[in-house]
Amino acid sequence: TIDGQRKSDKNQTRMLQWMEDQTAMQKAALRREEDHFGEKVTAEVARQMAHHRETTKTTAAPRPRTKSSSHSAPLKDTTNNPSLNRPKKLTKPKGPGAYRKWEETNAAKIAAKARKEDSRRLQAPGRKLPWG
């Protein structure tokens, strides 16, 4: 029927349009990638560079293990979790006299840390006590 024919034609044109859009998008992506390298590089060179980047991933040399007194937690893997990558916000004190209060608490925290480290130093095995 003529109606069916028209419908299929419509679908065909829609499909063609979609394909054109796809190729246009791919080309745009390529162009963007080329711009990313600063100058217009042909897609081939871009591909080669990408391949080179993939194959020559720099891996950190294993650090020699040293026994450290302060055990710190291993760094969190932040490769695909940018929220962990954010630097910690320093909370600014607000209100009258808040800064002094903040300074005091800060000093208290520092003192507590120092005390803790001192006691740790005294209790370390194989350490001679300073008065012993």
DSSP one-letter string for the chain: -HHHHHHHHHHHHHHHHHHHHHHHHHHHHHHHHHHHTSS---HHHHHHHHHHHHHT---PPPPPP---SS--PPPP--TT-HHHHSPPPPPPP-STTHHHHHHHHHHHHHHHHHHHHHHHHHHSTTPPPTT-
Is the residue at 60 inside a domain? no
Tens of pLDDT along the chain (132 residues) come to 777 778 888 888 999 999 999 999 998 888 777 666 555 556 677 777 777 777 666 555 666 666 555 555 556 555 666 666 666 666 666 677 777 777 888 888 888 888 888 777 666 666 666 665
Domain encompassing residue 14: 7-55
Residue 102 belongs to some domain of the structure: yes
Asked if residue 19 belongs to a domain, the reply is: yes
> What pLDDT is attached to residue 108?
87
Q: How many structural domains does the chain have?
A: 2
Residue 69 located in a structural domain: no
Is 18 a member of any domain?
yes
Whole-model pTM: value is: 0.23
pLDDT of residue 49: 76
Asked, for residue 78, whether it belongs to a domain, the answer is no
Q: What confidence score (pLDDT) does residue 20 get? A: 93
Is the residue at 67 inside a domain?
A: no
For residue 104, tell me if it sits in a domain.
yes
